[in-house]
Amino acid sequence: MLGSGRLGRFALGCLAALAAIAPAQAQTKPVPPLVFTGIPDQDESRLVERFGKVASYLESKLGVPVRYLPVKSYPAAVTAFTNGQVQLAWFGGFTGVQARKAVPGAQAIAQGAEDAAFKTYLIANSATGLKPETAFPKAIAEKTFTFGARASTSGRLMPEYFIRQAFPGKSPEQVFSRVGFSGDHSRTIQLVQSGAFAVGAVDYSVWDLDTKAGKVDPKAVSVIWESPPFPDYQWTVRGDVDQTYGPGFTDKLRAALTGITDPAILEPFGRSKFIPVTNAAYEPLVEVGRSTGLLD
């Protein structure tokens, strides 16, 4: 049986042992995964290919677990970012503006080299007889027209802006006989190609990717107009990641993204490389969003 003195020394020894164990346990506490998403702007198989490779690459460069979270719509991507379900997202220009407006401190950190001067294509079914023009093709009036997703920059925001400029005082619903929203750029191409809509607005990079993949029938659908350039897609990160993953993590993430050189990662994006960017680059889209009534 332990005496009182020996009992006290035993208790102190236990406390000391526990104190030594606690920091070790704290140091081995698992790091939460960095979860990211991307707007579903084209067919799902390409999205899985694209973002699965990004997840593996980032995990190898950042030293933390990285997970891709697929979403069903553009608004769902913004919501996942806003509520902290994801810490990083590949947004279109306009969805990025919406997300950063909802999450103070969020930063645009990288964009495709092509995103600094992006373009919308207007495409038309061959049965319309519409031909390529340099000036905005006003002959599209009174025809059926489909945008992409409602929050798409190249599939909705910018084409609506150009339509309103070409037909002052008129909304798209007043210009066209019927207006639709396909949901994504690949779907827009298929709808116009099939004749379900006469004309549509599409992301030029998806048009190029789908053309290379043999999904575009040049006898059935063609580009009739190319828009002036505007800023578009970007990687946006929440402002609290440095608190979670350590000081300098945002800079490390930016360096990882802009350091991608593997064509197997870049080609599914239709990008030659990623370059640094800041929120200021997207101020023109804020103004366009307000002018069209699509941004509060």
CATH number at residue 237: 3.40.190.10
DSSP string, the chain: ---HHHHHHHHHHHHHHHHHHHHHHHHTPPPPPEEEEE---S-HHHHHHHHHHHHHHHHHHHSS-EEE---SSHHHHHHHHHTTS-SEEEE-HHHHHHHHHHSTT-EEEEEEGGGGGB-EEEEEEGGG-----SS--GGGTTSEEEESSTT-IIIIIHHHHHHHHHSTT--HHHHSSEEEE-SSHHHHHHHHHHTSSSEEEEEHHHHHHHHHTT---TTTEEEEEEPPPB---EEEE-TTHHHHH-TTHHHHHHHHHHT---HHHHGGGT-S-EEE--GGGGHHHHHHHHHHTS--
With tokens 């048009």, the residue in question is 207
pLDDT tens track for 190-243: 999 999 999 999 999 999 999 999 999 999 999 999 999 999 999 999 999 999
> Contact at 8 Å (CB) between 223 and 189?
no
* Ramachandran angles phi, psi of 236, nearest 5°: -120, 135
Residue 265 in domain: yes
- Of 111-115, 177-181, 290-294, the one with minimum mean pLDDT is 290-294
Residue 217 in domain: yes
Residue 19 in domain: no
pLDDT band at 10 (very low <50, low <70, confident <90, very high): very low
Claim to verify: residue 264 and residue 244 sit in the same structural domain:
yes
> Contact at 8 Å (CB) between 158 and 150?
no
pTM of the predicted model as reported, rounded to 2 decimal places: 0.85
Claim to verify: residue 112 and residue 257 sit in the same structural domain:
yes
> Contact at 8 Å (CB) between 243 and 261?
no
pLDDT tens track for 243-258: 999 999 999 999 999 9
- What pLDDT does 9 receive? 53
Claim to verify: residue 172 and residue 184 sit in the same structural domain:
yes
Claim to verify: residue 144 and residue 193 sit in the same structural domain:
yes
- What pLDDT does 26 receive? 47
- What pLDDT does 125 receive? 98
Which has more pLDDT, 252 or 4?
Answer: 252
C-alpha–C-alpha distance, residues 128 and 120, integer Å: 20
Claim to verify: residue 47 and residue 176 sit in the same structural domain:
no
Which of 188, 211, 226 is the endpoint of a domain? Answer: 226
pLDDT band at 11 (very low <50, low <70, confident <90, very high): very low
Which of 200, 226, 252 is the endpoint of a domain? Answer: 226
Claim to verify: residue 239 and residue 205 sit in the same structural domain:
no
Listed in sequence order, the residues at least 6 apart from 270 whose beta carbon sits closer than 8 Å to its beta carbon are 112, 114, 205, 206, 208, 209
Residue 15 in domain: no
What's the number of domains the chain is made of?
Answer: 2
Claim to verify: residue 254 and residue 210 sit in the same structural domain:
no
Residue 22 pLDDT > 80, yes or no? no
Residue 9 in domain: no
Claim to verify: residue 253 and residue 175 sit in the same structural domain:
no
Residue 239 in domain: yes
The mean pLDDT value for 170-199 works out to 97
Which of 226, 242, 269 is the endpoint of a domain? Answer: 226
- What pLDDT does 296 receive? 80
Domain span including residue 81: 34-116+231-292
The per-residue pLDDT of the chain, averaged, comes to: 91
Determine how many CB atoms are found less than 10 A away from the CB of residue 273: 15
Claim to verify: residue 212 and residue 262 sit in the same structural domain:
no
- What pLDDT does 5 receive? 53
Q: Record the tokens describing residue 63, joined without a space.
A: 């030293």
Claim to verify: residue 129 and residue 182 sit in the same structural domain:
yes
- What pLDDT does 3 receive? 52
The mean pLDDT value for 118-138 works out to 97
pLDDT tens track for 41-84: 888 888 888 999 999 999 999 999 999 999 999 999 999 999 99
Residue 6 in domain: no
Percent of the chain residues past pLDDT 70, beyond the cut: 91
Claim to verify: residue 171 and residue 80 sit in the same structural domain:
no
Claim to verify: residue 109 and residue 237 sit in the same structural domain:
yes
Residue 21 pLDDT > 90, yes or no? no
Residue 50 in domain: yes
